[in-house]
């Protein structure tokens, strides 16, 4: 497996819409496994393909304490959502930046696995938050988009200062 480069905000590719996966072959499996290894190494609990410069509708997630329950989520579609939860979120594309974001507390998604088989997943709490966060990436949206313009500008200046 190989570690991939995680794009940092405000890289323009983070705003790119991911394309559906139609061929479920070894290249997709390898990408997913490399993404998982990259996410664990970062360390994080979720990573979208767009964050590693791949415009594919692919997420890897593992919210387990022991990092032993990876989820490979391809072509996710939101089926239902309910409730509301405020949570401090971070993102591997925004190192050491955290902000409160309001999301649905429970979600139901339809997705495909690495072989293309369809599944339904009902999630709540941290898993639901992570799924929504990563699905946003596939649509070119990042978590700071939920914040006020003032807070977004403050974060951008923080990141620019760190890059100097």
List helix spans (H) across 53-148.
125-138
Q: Determine the 3-state secondary structure of 99 from DSSP.
A: strand
Print burial letters for 40-70: b (CB count within 10 Å at least 16), e (below 16): beeebbbbbbbbbebebbbbbbbbeeeeeeb
Nearest to 37 by CA among 6, 64, 1, 61: 1
Residues involved in catalysis: 134
């Amino acid at each position: 497996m190989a570690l991939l480069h995680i794009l940092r905000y405000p890289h323009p590719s983070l705003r790119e819409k991911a394309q559906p996966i139609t061929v479920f072959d070894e290249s997709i499996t390898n990408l997913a496994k490399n993404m998982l290894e990259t996410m664990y190494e970062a360390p994080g609990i979720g990573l979208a393909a767009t964050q590693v410069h791949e415009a594919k509708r692919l997420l890897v997630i593992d919210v387990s304490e022991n990092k032993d329950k990876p989820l490979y989520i391809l072509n996710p579609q939101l089926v239902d959502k309910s409730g509301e939860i405020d949570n401090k979120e971070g993102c591997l594309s925004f190192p050491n930046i955290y902000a409160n974001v309001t999301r649905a507390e429970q979600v139901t998604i339809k997705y495909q696995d690495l072989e293309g088989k369809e599944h339904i997943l009902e999630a709540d709490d941290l898993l639901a938050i992570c799924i929504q966060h990563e699905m946003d990436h596939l649509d070119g949206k990042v978590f700071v988009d939920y914040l006020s313009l003032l807070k977004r500008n403050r974060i951008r200046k923080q990141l620019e200062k760190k890059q100097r």
